[in-house]
Amino acid sequence: MPTDAAGDRPPVSQVPNFEQVAPGLLRGGQPDADGIAWLEAHSVRTVIDLRGEGGEGPDNQAIAGAWKKARCHSIPIPDMNPPTHEQVEEFLRLVDDPGNQPVFVHCKAGIGRTGTMIACWRVAHGWDVDEAIRQEQFFSYAGSFAQESFVREFAATRILP
């Protein structure tokens, strides 16, 4: 399992904006072929692709086909848009299922959509919403006003388990 130790990270060119969020949860941008190999060598079981359909470079299906071992799930969110509550709940179910871990979640750059979902995950796990958003700013969080507003609304309305 990857750690935050500098010696156990994929090269930035292979997995941009990589981070181990928590045990069993990794995040980043769209990995290249070497990044996929690195992640699979580090036992990633499940991949959650947040990219919207079309218009984001290589075909999503072709990239999903590059994974040899991991199960791929698509939760398509158009760039700069917030997810729906249903998409966040699906994301949380996938990430929090120990049978799926380790999970790698990504969008194209690993910033806006990925940051929004990770902030929601943190809120669902008891983080203060401001701290969850502040943590994403470490990655130059480029979340749109709509994405940040969604995280705040999610925090205000979600009943913690």
Q: What are the tens digits of pLDDT across the range 46-68?
A: 999 999 865 455 555 556 667 88
State which CATH number among 3.90.190.10, 2.60.40.10, 3.40.50.10260, 3.30.1360.120 fits the domain covering 6-156: 3.90.190.10
The single residue listed with the structure tokens 């984001």 is: 56
DSSP state of 43: T
CA distance 26 to 47: 9
Task: Please tell me the pTM assigned to this model.
Answer: 0.86
Examine residue 10 and say whether the peptide bond preceding it is cis (omega within 30 degrees of 0): no
pLDDT of amino acid 124 = 97
State yes or no: is 107 an active-site residue.
yes
pLDDT (0 to 100) of residue 64: 60
Active-site residue (options: 36, 48, 107, 111): 107
Q: Where are the domains of the chain?
A: 6-156
104/98 Cα distance (integer angstroms): 13
